[in-house]
């Protein structure tokens, strides 16, 4: 069940939780991920959907947060990573089609693995619980289908 | 850079470091969960959720309001058709590519440059959702 052991996952999750908790205790903000795509679009698109008040209020801190996420992974790579710089072998067509579905789906659902998954369930939201069960179930179906069709990794 | 943005930046650093430490910056590791070969993702998500549960539900009993102002309010969303249809579409893309929004950003940080294409696609997908279904 855990070919790489359990500790990297548990400690990684704790570190993530500490980051989210740190932000919440100091600011009351739920530092979640997928809204970034919509709030950043408010800099470029005039349509009302993107110009809503909550997006305009959060678009700046979401960019700081995203920059932190990227740089946090850079720091990991430069310090304790056993691999150094690393590149995926998942095909570009999968990144493109998968990315389109992920961008569309997370925004339609108002949350992703962090918004529904971490902050939502930690808030005891049944909506988020249903969302998480659904995307994990369909994630498994999708990944199994891809494997069944002989597409690796 | 005001105090709030500094806090968000530090929180982001921690989040990204934790994602990379826990292997989730590699789409391959996410896929190995969805292919039911390595259940580690559930442990990572569980540990992050339990820690956040304490911050959201227990800390506010002792600390009245956020230290830099604002208010403590759990994250709630109304359940509707879009929540579930969106989660289905997200799940299909997640299982196809092993990417989700946070893990894609962290993936960029470990030097995985092809994920830039995936992130660009996420922006396009989000735009299409807001433009045509928002």
When pLDDT is averaged across residues A100-115 and rounded to a whole number, the result is 98
Q: Which of B85, B97, B130 sits opposite A98 (nearest CB)?
A: B97
Tell if the CB–CB gap between B85 and A109 is shorter than 8 Å: yes
pTM: 0.98
What are the residues whose beta carbons fall under 8 Å from the beta carbon of B101, sequence distance 6 or more? A33, A34, A36, A37, A102, A106, A112, A113, A114, B122
Tell if the CB–CB gap between B129 and A95 is shorter than 8 Å: no
Q: How confident is the model at residue A12 (pLDDT cuts 50, 70, 90)?
A: very high
Kindly list the distances between the CA atom of residue A5 and the CA atoms of A10, A11, B23, B62, in Å, as whole numbers in the listed order: 10, 11, 12, 36
Residue count of chain A? 153
What are the residues whose beta carbons fall under 8 Å from the beta carbon of A4, sequence distance 6 or more? B23, B38, B40
Q: What is the pLDDT of residues B13-49, one digit of tens each?
A: 999 999 999 999 999 999 999 999 999 999 999 999 9
Interface confidence, given as ipTM, is: 0.98
Mean pLDDT rounded to a whole number for chain A = 98
Kindly list the distances between the CA atom of residue A85 and the CA atoms of A90, A138, B70, in Å, as whole numbers in the listed order: 16, 31, 39
DSSP annotation string for B47-93 = HHHHHHHIIIIIHHHH-SS-TTSS----------HHHHHHHHHHHHH
Predicted local distance difference test score (pLDDT) of residue B134: 86
| Residue that the structure tokens 């709630």 belong to | B76
Distinct helix (H) and strand (E) counts, chain B = 7, 0
Tell if the CB–CB gap between A49 and B53 is shorter than 8 Å: no
- DSSP 8-state secondary structure symbol assigned to residue A123: T
Q: Which two tokens stand for residue A95?
A: 């990144």
Q: Which of A11, A116, A143 sits opposite B34 (nearest CB)?
A: A143
When pLDDT is averaged across residues B3-12 and rounded to a whole number, the result is 98
For residue B1, is pLDDT > 80?
Answer: no
Cα–Cα distance measured from residue A6 to residue B38, given in angstroms and rounded to the nearest whole number: 10
Tell if the CB–CB gap between A112 and B102 is shorter than 8 Å: yes
Of residues A93, A114, A92, A90, the one with CA closest to residue A37? A114
Cα–Cα distance measured from residue B36 to residue B40, given in angstroms and rounded to the nearest whole number: 10
Cα of A148 to nearest chain B Cα, Å: 10
């Amino acid at each position: 069940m855990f070919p790489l052991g359990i500790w990297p996952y548990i400690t990684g999750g704790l570190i993530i939780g500490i980051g989210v908790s740190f932000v919440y205790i100091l600011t009351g903000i739920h530092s979640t991920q997928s809204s970034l795509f919509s709030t950043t679009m408010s800099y470029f698109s005039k349509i009302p959907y993107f110009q809503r008040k909550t997006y305009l209020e959060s678009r700046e801190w979401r960019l700081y947060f995203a920059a932190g996420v990227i740089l946090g992974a850079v720091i990991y790579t430069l310090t304790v990573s056993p691999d150094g710089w690393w590149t995926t072998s998942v095909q570009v067509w999968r990144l493109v089609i998968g990315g389109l579905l992920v961008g569309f789906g997370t925004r339609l659902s108002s949350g992703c693995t962090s918004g529904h998954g971490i902050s939502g369930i930690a808030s005891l939201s049944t909506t988020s619980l249903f969302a998480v069960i659904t995307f994990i179930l369909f994630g498994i179906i999708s990944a199994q289908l891809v494997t069944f069709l002989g597409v690796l990794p | 850079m005001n105090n709030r943005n500094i806090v968000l930046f530090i929180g982001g650093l921690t989040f990204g470091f934790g994602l990379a430490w826990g292997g989730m910056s590699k789409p391959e590791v996410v896929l190995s969960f969805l292919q039911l070969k390595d259940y580690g993702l559930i442990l990572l998500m569980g540990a992050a959720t339990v820690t956040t549960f304490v911050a959201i539900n227990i800390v506010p009993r002792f600390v009245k309001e956020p230290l830099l102002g604002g208010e403590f309010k759990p994250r709630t969303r109304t359940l509707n058709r879009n929540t579930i249809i969106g989660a289905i579409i997200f799940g299909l893309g997640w299982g196809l590519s092993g990417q989700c929004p946070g893990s894609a950003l962290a993936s960029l940080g470990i030097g995985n440059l092809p994920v830039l294409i995936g992130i660009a696609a996420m922006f396009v997908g989000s735009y299409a959702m807001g433009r045509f279904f928002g």
